[in-house]
Amino acid sequence: MKTDEQHLQSGDCLLRVVSQDRCFRGLVAVTTDTVRTICKKQQTDLTATVALGRLLTGGALMAGLLKGRQRLSLVVEGNGPIGKMGVEADAEGRLRGTIRHSVAGLPPRNEKFDVAGAIGRAGFLTVTKDLGLKEPYQSMVQLQTSEIGEDLAWYLTSSEQVPSSLGLGVEFNADGDVAAAGGFMIQVLPPELPEKIEELVERIESMPPISSMLREKVAPTDILQQIFDADNFPASEVIPLSFHCLCNRSQIEQMLAGLGSDELISLAEQQQFTSVRCEYCRTEYLFAAVELKKLTAP
Residues 107 and 150 in one domain: yes
Residues 190 and 96 in one domain: yes
- Residue at a domain's end among 243, 269, 286: 243
Residues 173 and 269 in one domain: no
Residues 127 and 267 in one domain: no
Q: How far apart are CA 118 and CA 21, in angstroms?
A: 40
Residues 279 and 229 in one domain: no
Residues 22 and 132 in one domain: yes
Residues 221 and 139 in one domain: yes
Q: Looking at residue 194, what is its pLDDT?
A: 93
Look at the chain and report how many structural domains it folds into. Answer: 2
- Residue at a domain's end among 216, 243, 270: 243
Residues paired with residue 276 on neighbouring β-strands, in sequence order: 285
Residues 139 and 234 in one domain: yes
Three-class secondary structure assignment of 50-91: HHHHHHHHHHHHHHCCCCCCCEEEEEEEECCCCCEEEEEEEC
Q: Looking at residue 5, what is its pLDDT?
A: 53
Q: Where residue 71 sits, what CATH number does that domain have?
A: 3.55.30.10
Q: Where residue 277 sits, what CATH number does that domain have?
A: 3.90.1280.10
Residues 119 and 255 in one domain: no
DSSP 296: T
Residues 199 and 264 in one domain: no
- Residue at a domain's end among 225, 243, 261: 243
Which residues are within 8 A (CB) of 111 and not within 5 positions of it... i.e. 6 or more apart?
none
State whether residue 34 is helix, strand or coil: helix
Q: Looking at residue 3, what is its pLDDT?
A: 44
Residue 260: give the domain boundaries.
Answer: 249-294
Residues 122 and 260 in one domain: no
Which residues are within 8 A (CB) of 240 and not within 5 positions of it... i.e. 6 or more apart?
2, 7, 11, 12, 13, 93
Q: Is the dihedral of CA 252, 253, 259, 265 positive or negative?
A: positive
Q: Which helix (H) or strand (E) holds 18?
A: strand 13-18
Residues 157 and 261 in one domain: no
**Predicted confidence pLDDT, tens digits, the chain (298 residues):** 454 555 555 689 999 999 988 999 999 999 999 999 999 999 999 999 999 999 999 999 999 999 999 999 999 999 999 999 999 999 999 999 999 999 999 988 888 999 999 999 899 999 999 998 889 999 999 999 999 999 999 999 999 999 999 999 999 999 999 999 999 999 999 998 999 999 999 999 999 999 999 999 999 999 999 999 887 777 689 999 999 999 999 999 999 998 889 899 998 899 899 999 999 999 999 999 999 988 887 7
